[in-house]
């Protein structure tokens, strides 16, 4: 899991100027949900980035989702994005 989180962090840092990034695994909160899949993660991504913050919310989230497309298809079930 640590390696996967690091991979996500690296991809974001390679594509955007980021002041601070925090990735939280909230998968344990979803174990009782109907569509819970043990090998897919529920993540919360908190980013401090002047560039991403200058865009509207939808634009910045689309850019992040585009960068993490492969991970979204394979290992991420849900991604909460907070940009400051």
Pairing label, strands 41-48, 20-25: antiparallel
Could you list the pLDDT tens digit for every one of the 84 residues in the chain?
A: 889 999 999 999 999 999 999 999 988 776 777 766 778 899 999 999 999 999 999 999 999 999 999 999 999 989 999 999
Which sequence spans correspond to the domains of the chain?
Answer: 2-83
**What is the C-alpha to C-alpha distance for residues 49 and 61, in angstroms, rounded to an integer?**
12
Q: Is 35 exposed, middle or buried (CB count within 10 Å of its CB: 0-12, 13-18, 19+)?
A: exposed
Q: Tell me, what's the pLDDT at 36? A: 67
Homologous superfamily assigned to 2-83 = BolA-like (3.30.300.90)
């Amino acid at each position: 899991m640590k390696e996967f989180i690091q991979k996500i962090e690296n991809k974001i840092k390679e594509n955007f100027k980021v002041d601070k990034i925090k990735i939280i695994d909230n998968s344990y909160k979803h174990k009782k949900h109907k569509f819970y899949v043990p090998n897919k993660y529920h993540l919360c991504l908190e980013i401090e980035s002047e560039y991403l913050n200058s865009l509207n919310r939808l634009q910045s989230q689309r850019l992040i989702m585009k960068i993490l497309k492969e991970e979204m298809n394979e290992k991420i079930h849900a991604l909460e994005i907070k940009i400051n």
